[in-house]
Chain A
């Protein structure tokens, strides 16, 4: 028997006093962790296969199950942590690049958690959102400030195309293929109901979802999957994906095993073929090439739709954003290094890119220093976890934010971080019909609407506390923020003062 170098991280703890051997766990686990042993008339588990997704725990009718850390440990070593050791074992065995899913879980600073929000006292009244209007509407797009007037002096209202959001939050790019049909439907319907937008990701737009077009942002990525005139026309806006926070500098790969049926048709590639998005766009090797693609897409859609350019937060993000703001793009989307992914090389995900808070602050500052902040709107993404993060991001300078992981959590995801395996027990990151069926879009979209409704209330409360009754007065309003436990340099980059100052 081969040596097993890696002991399971988790153990299935089953309380046999409670287990009624209903075998729900067995049926629910796509990883085949649970097994019924007839001659013993009891359930047993194979901890090796468990990904800690909690599907069985959530469905066990007698609460007989929980997943616990195995507690098995290597000899204490601050340098060679268990994770380091196990990764060496895995690579020594497979010879392959390590793959991971969802956002960077490592212990880097989360700047949002070191920023605090202001509130009014005495000199300035707070505003009660239950009594007074509290406005969260946002327009995304370029705001050229040259007023033109007609013969009788009336203003000619010819603003460039804008997206109008009821709430400064949008659902970020997750392709059909990386997530399921039912997940996609839940997200599209929620966006429609909320008056916001969701993003198709780079997998094209399923023909069933064209009817959500006015709430859809379609993505044009380096693989150009599913891009055609009808796709562009169907959308409210077009996003050029130059990079992704979870994997800056590299492309994407949907294995041929997932390119089946509708997915192959939507992506416009043969069934069973790998869908490989190259690392760069091969028609964009510099900023002037980007400008050409921006204008090609605008030409193709008669200048009726805003064009978003999405970039990963990397070291020189401010300079890149400055170039994009002059490229004809209407919106810049910045994706921080904690952003999620269906699959990324572990080393890239965990070691490349910078935090969104710093990237956003430096981009906003750079665009203002150059006097071009009104050329574009700025979107922040890459681990916006709650409404306070939204408020902080907007006060740092974002017009709105994209959320992805929070969307999936609302749909049932338990962040087990094994999307790349394709066996999502929650019916989200899978194409297996029996698993997809588990996510009911009728319930899924309601949970997303609930989540956003809750966030809206919280955003309104925080705004009201600051005496601000319209979200545009919060944008870039950094005096409303203070840092705690940050050094001078961090405060300088964030453009905020320390608490107590």
Chain B
């Protein structure tokens, strides 16, 4: 039984570091942070999203792909070459360690859409890329694109997160934002693709929780061209964020008020103009409300959002030191990498903590 054949609930740990000034952070820090929460994972999934790590290919979409075998790889490559100009392709560097076994073929491609094909399809570039990614994941057996954004990448595997970090030699990457995830699924060993982060384009999601609105959300988002093949909460949340931000133009602040909407009793007490807006968003986007416990870290191009469910049924702590923002399931996971903090707080349920790169950084 693998991911996608059955819905697997899981508990988890998350951690994220973000430098507002764009100061390069090393990948080692986030590994140290997540490893403090070892007991929140059970060795069945760990992963990282890193932003700002591919400056050389900043305009290219970096596809990270798992292949079950060479057949899947060549089929997938044929498809990619039919849709994209490939600037570079190589195996993702890994370190062989005993803790990580059964790895698939892990390959990385830096690509841009073929101009004529893009024009012919008459969609914007990111939609073109998103459709190609969803197509590979749905239609090409044994191939799974787990990262597809520009100047960012996801690294994940079955194992404890600190081992996964070592496996991918994450300490050798530098970027302005890292998020991390340790997974505690409640049954069978997950498939590598089922580990977090879940990502589409530059959006990545790490998530701790089990959402009770899952099937309502899934059946809605599938209507708009997002086949949910993994049956995981994280997949659905990532698609919702892509849909609301990229396709509907909602800001991350507005997205927070849709997916972790304030209670009606709170909205009733708001001033008229706010009340109208909140009521409008809750009404029109009611199918994207997410209930049940979750804490998520959403990475996006130039930013990160931390968000708890509306009742705050999962722990999540945020902290600041200078230009750097930290978010983790437990405060200890922040203190271990930065004991000297300017501010530590527990964001309220439904209160999105949104950080972005300072103006002019890029």
Name A's B-contacting residues (CB within 8 A): 120, 123-125, 127, 132-133, 135, 137, 139, 143-147, 149, 154-155, 157, 159, 162, 368, 371, 373-374, 466-470, 472-480
Contacts and interface: CB of A to CB of B under 8 A. Distances in A.
A145 B285 contact: yes
A229 B284 CA distance: 30
A469 B210 contact: no
Contacts of A477: 212-216, 219
Interface string B262-290: 01110000000000110111011111011
A159 B263 contact: no
B104 interface: no
Contacts of A145: 248, 284-285
Contact of B286 (A125, A132, A139, A371): A139
B313 A479 contact: no
B264 A137 contact: yes
25 contacts: A120-B212, A123-B10, A123-B11, A123-B210, A124-B9, A124-B293, A133-B265, A137-B264, A144-B284, A149-B249, A154-B277, A157-B279, A374-B223, A467-B291, A468-B213, A468-B291, A468-B292, A469-B310, A470-B291, A472-B287, A472-B289, A473-B213, A474-B213, A477-B214, A478-B215
Given A467-B212, A467-B292, A472-B286, A157 B276 contact: yes
Contacts of B292: 124, 467-468, 473
A157 B280 contact: yes
A137 B261 CA distance: 13
B293 A473 contact: no
Q: In the complex, which of the residues B216, B217, B224, B281 has the most CB atoms of chain A within 10 Å of its own CB atom? A: B216
Interface of B: 7, 9-11, 186, 209-210, 212-217, 219-220, 222-224, 248-250, 254, 261, 263-265, 276-277, 279-281, 283-287, 289-293, 310-311, 313
B320 to A, nearest CB: 27
Task: Indicate the member of A133, A143, A470, A476 with the most B CB atoms within 10 Å.
Answer: A470
B289 A478 contact: no
Contact of A155 (B7, B223, B280, B313): B280
B351 to A, nearest CB: 16
Contacts of B11: 123
Contacts of B263: 133, 135
Nearest to B217: A473
B235 to A, nearest CB: 14
A478 B289 CA distance: 16
Contacts of B249: 147, 149
A157 B215 contact: no
A208 B233 CA distance: 52
A417 to B, nearest CB: 38
B291 to A, nearest CB: 4
Given A123-B9, A135-B264, A473-B291, A368 B219 contact: yes
A150 to B, nearest CB: 11
A132, A162, A476: most-surrounded residue (chain B CB, <10 A): A476
Nearest to B286: A472
Contacts of A466: 212
A145 B293 CA distance: 26
A147 B251 CA distance: 11
A81 to B, nearest CB: 42
Contact of A157 (B9, B277, B286, B287): B277
Contacts of A159: 280, 283-284
B286 A143 contact: yes
B277 A125 contact: no
A326 B212 CA distance: 31
A473 B289 contact: yes
Given A137-B264, A368-B219, A155 B214 contact: no
A293 B310 CA distance: 43
Contacts of B9: 123-124
B56 to A, nearest CB: 34
Enumerate the 10 nearest inter-chain pairs by beta-carbon distance, A residue then B residue, closest first: A473-B213, A479-B215, A467-B212, A157-B280, A477-B216, A472-B286, A473-B291, A123-B9, A124-B210, A139-B283
Tell which of B10, B219, B249, B265 has the most Cβ of chain A within 10 Å: B219
